Structure 1
C-alpha cells in the first residue's frame, strides 16, 4: 500500500492526530485553490474595472448550480470507496473508481453543453446588471469549456481523499494553480484579454490538474489504479454512488438555487454592491474551505469506520470534528472582519463604496460562519453512514426553503442588506439542529442492526 494512502481504521496514533494529519493538506489545498481564484479577482479588479470584477465574481452561484448535481456524485464515490477501503474490499474500490470516472466524463460533457448554450439566458433570469451581463456571459461560455476536466479532477481527488491521501491533490493543485496565476497575468496585463483571459487561464489550469490526477492513477499500483479499458458501469457500484451522490448533488443544486436567488437580490442593489459582495464572498471562501476540510474528514473517517464495522468510534469522530470546525470558523471569521478594509482593498483599491458594502457582508456572514461548518460536519457524518436523502430534505427545508421564504416575505418588506444577509446564519442554525437529530437516529439504527444475529 502506498505510504500516502492508508486504512484510517488501522493506522496507529490517536484519532485526533489522525484527523489533523488528514485535514491539514486538504485545508492547504483548498486555501491554495482560493488564493489562485482570488488572483483572478485581484488581477481583474486592478487591471480592468469594477464592472469586469463584478462580471467574474457574480457568476459563482450560477456555475455551482449547473455543476453541483454531478459533483454531488463524487460524494457518492467518496462514501463507496471509503466503505470498501475500510472493509479491505479492494476489488470493490477498483469497480467504484471506473464507474465514477465514466460518470464524470458524461456529466462534464452535458454541463459544458448546457452552460455554453444558455449562459446568457441564465444571467437574464438572475437579473444581472445590464452593464456587466455581456462580460459575465463571455466569461461563463469560456469557463464551461473546462467543466469536463474540472469534474475529472474532482472525482479523482475524492478517490484519493477516501483512501487517506490528501497530499497529492495539494501537489497537483499547487502546480496547476501557479500556471493559472501566470496565465492570468499574461492574458490580462500583456494581451489585454480582460475577463476572457481570466476564463481561458482557468480552463488551462483545470485541464492540467485533471491530467495530473489521471496520469498518477494510471501509473500507480494497487486498488486505485485507473485503466481506460476498465472504464464501464458496474450496476452495484452505480447504485451505491447514486443513492448517496444524487441526493448530495441535488442538495448542492438546491443550495445553489437559493444562492442564485440571493445573488439576484444582491444584484438589485446595483454594481457597486455586487462588487463589494463578490469581494467579501471571495474572502469568506477561505474560511469555508478551511471548514470544508473538516467535513471531508468526518465523511471519510465515518465511512471507513462503517466499512470496518467499528461503529462505536463514530461519535468520537463527529465530536472532534465539531470542535475543530467551530475553532476554525470562529478564528478565520472574526479575523476576516477585523481586517476587512485592507483585505477588501486588495480587490477594490479604488472603490471605497464597494469596500463598505463588502465589510457589511463580512460582519453578518463571516463572523457566524462557524455555524455553517457545524452543519457541514453533521452532513458528512450522515453521508459517511450511507445516508443522503434525509440530509438533502433537511437542507431543502432548513436552508433553501427558509431562505427563499425569508426573501419573499421579510426581505421584501424590509429591503436592506442586513435583512438579506441575516437569512444565512438563521438557516445554518435551524439546519444544524435538524441534521443532529437525523444523525443520532441513523447511528442508533446502525448499531442496532450490527447487534442483530444473522441466521
Structure 2
C-alpha cells in the first residue's frame, strides 16, 4: 500500500485535489463508458424499442447502484477519518465489517429486486413494446448485485485510504470485458437487452475477483481471510449511521429520476429513448465535478480526522472553481450543438428532436451540479451525511418532482418543461447547503 497511499492532510491543496481526482475522472469515465456501451451497442444492433428497454432497465438498476454507492461512501468516510487519525486497527476492522455486511445486504437486495421488478416497470409506465426486454434486463442485472457491491466496496475502501489509482485498474478491466461481451452477446448472438445485462454482471464479477486476488498478493492493510470477515458492532453502527442516510438519499434521488422517466415514457417511446440518451450524456458532463467531489470527500475526511478543518474548507472553494471551469464545456456543447449529442447514439429523427428540446433546459444543470456536488462531497466527508440526505430529499422529491409535473404536464408541456425542473432543484440544494456550512457544525468529528 505504501506506494499508492496518499496523505491528504499535508502539502499543496491544488496538487492534492488534482492528483487525487485525475484517477477519479479516469475511473468515472470508464464507468460511464461501461454503462454507455450497452446503449451504444444495443442502438447499433437493434432498434428504438431496444434503446428504450435498456434505458429504462438502466434507470431501474440505478436505484440499486445508488443504494450501494451510499453504503460504500459511508465506508470511505469512516476509513478516511480513522486513517487520517492513524488508527490502523480501527481501519482494518471497518473494512472487514463493511465487506461482511455487504454480502448480506447484497443477497437481501437481490431477493427484493426479483420480487419488485415488474411492479417498478409498471410504475414507470414502460411502453408495451419495451416491457419484455426491460424485464429481462433488470432480472439478469439483479442477479449480479453481489458483484456490484464487492467491486464498489473495494474501490471505496482504497479511496478512503488515499489511493485513487488502483480502482482505475479494476474499473478498466470491467469496462473492457463489458464492451467485448456486449459485442458478442448483443451483436453476434442477438440477445438484445438480455445480452447487455449479462455482459454487465459477468464483467463486474471478473473485475471483483481479480481485485481481491491482486490486493491479497500486495501489502494491503486488510487480509482477505475468513477470520477477518466479521461484523464489529461499533463499526457496523458507525457505517450504517454514515452510509444509511447516503443510501436513502441516493435511492430517493433515483426514485425521483424514475418519476421523471415515467413522465417521459408517458409521452411516447421517442421521448423515453431521448431522456435515456441524455441521461448517458449527463454522466459524462458530470465526470469532472463528480471526481472532484469524491476527492474532496476523501480529503475532508482525512483532515477532519487530523483536526485540520480549515484546510478542508479551503479545498472546498478550490474544488468548486475547478469543477465550474470543466462543466462549462459540456454546457456550451449542449446549448450550441444538441443534435450532435443525440447523433452519437444513432438515434432516429424523432428521438433527436425530443432530445434537443430536453437539452435546452436540462443542460443548465451541468453548471449548477459543479457547485452542488462539491458541497455534498464536503458535507459527506465531514460526516454530515444525515443533513446531506435531508437536503437531497428536499431538492429531488419536494422540488424537482413537483416542478417536473407542473412544467412538463401543465405549463410548458413536454421535455422542455421536464428539463427545467433539474436546475430549479439544484439551486434549492445549493442554497440550503451553503447556509448549513456557515453554521460550522461540520467541523465536529464522527469517530
SS in 1 for 2:267: coil
Residue of structure 2 in register with 1:373 after alignment: 370
Q: Deviations over 1:71-102 (max 9, x none)?
A: 31111101100001111111111001011101
Residue of structure 1 in register with 2:389 after alignment: 392
Q: How far off is 1:363 after superposition? A: 2.4
Q: How far off is 1:437 after superposition? A: 1.4
Q: Is the 8 A contact 1:31 1:290 kept in 2?
A: no
Residue of structure 1 in register with 2:206 after alignment: 208
* Count of equivalent residues: 445
Where in structure 2 are the equivalents of 1:61-72 lying within 5 Å? 61-72=59-70
Q: How far off is 1:295 after superposition? A: 1.0
Residue of structure 1 aligned with 2:49, choices 37, 48, 51: 51
Q: Is the 8 A contact 2:309 2:443 kept in 1?
A: no
Q: Is the 8 A contact 1:51 1:131 kept in 2?
A: yes
The reply to whether residue 284 of structure 1 matches residue 273 of structure 2 is no
Q: Is the 8 A contact 1:284 1:336 kept in 2?
A: no
Residue of structure 2 aligned with 1:221, choices 219, 222, 240: 219
Residue of structure 2 in register with 1:452 after alignment: none
Q: Deviations over 1:52-74 (max 9, x none)?
A: 01100123332122342343111
Change (3 A) 1:116 1:290: farther
Distance 2:184 2:58 in 1: 23
Residue of structure 1 aligned with 2:183, choices 160, 182, 185: 185
SS in 2 for 1:433: helix
Distance 1:15 1:129 in 2: 50
Distance 2:220 2:31 in 1: 29
Where in structure 2 are the equivalents of 1:28-107 lying within 5 Å? 28-107=26-105
Most deviating of 114-123 and 22-31: 114-123
Residue of structure 2 aligned with 1:406, choices 403, 408, 411: 403
Q: Is the 8 A contact 2:96 2:222 kept in 1?
A: no
Q: Deviations over 1:315-337 (max 9, x none)?
A: 11100111112112222232344
The reply to whether residue 9 of structure 1 matches residue 9 of structure 2 is yes
Q: How far off is 1:404 after superposition? A: 2.4
Where in structure 2 are there 5+ consecutive unaligned residues? none
Distance 1:329 1:58 in 2: 26
Distance 2:113 2:42 in 1: 22
Q: Is the 8 A contact 1:348 1:354 kept in 2?
A: no
Q: Is the 8 A contact 2:100 2:231 kept in 1?
A: yes
Distance 1:444 1:118 in 2: 38
Residue of structure 1 in register with 2:380 after alignment: 383
Q: How far off is 1:255 after superposition? A: 0.7
The reply to whether residue 244 of structure 1 matches residue 242 of structure 2 is yes
Q: Is the 8 A contact 2:365 2:426 kept in 1?
A: no
Residue of structure 2 in register with 1:257 after alignment: 255
The reply to whether residue 113 of structure 1 matches residue 108 of structure 2 is no
Superposition TM-score, scaled by structure 2 size: 0.95
Q: Is the 8 A contact 1:67 1:111 kept in 2?
A: no
Distance 1:160 1:52 in 2: 37
Where in structure 2 are the equivalents of 1:308-347 lying within 5 Å? 308-347=306-345
Runs of 4+ in 1 over 3 A off after TM superposition: 336-339, 407-412, 442-447
Q: How far off is 1:431 after superposition? A: 0.5
Q: Is the 8 A contact 1:334 1:367 kept in 2?
A: no
Change (3 A) 1:117 1:431: same
Q: Is the 8 A contact 1:116 1:141 kept in 2?
A: yes
Q: Deviations over 1:91-138 (max 9, x none)?
A: 111001011101221121112222223212210111111111111001
Distance 1:404 1:156 in 2: 34
Superposition TM-score, scaled by structure 1 size: 0.93
Q: How far off is 1:228 after superposition? A: 2.7
Distance 1:8 1:225 in 2: 24
The reply to whether residue 361 of structure 1 matches residue 363 of structure 2 is no
Distance 2:364 2:442 in 1: 34
Distance 1:399 1:141 in 2: 27
Q: Is the 8 A contact 2:24 2:295 kept in 1?
A: no
SS in 1 for 2:144: helix
Distance 1:243 1:352 in 2: 48
Change (3 A) 1:222 1:52: closer
Change (3 A) 1:192 1:399: closer
Q: Is the 8 A contact 2:382 2:443 kept in 1?
A: no
Distance 2:43 2:237 in 1: 45
Distance 1:391 1:423 in 2: 20
Residue of structure 1 in register with 2:425 after alignment: 427
Where in structure 1 are there 5+ consecutive unaligned residues? 450-455
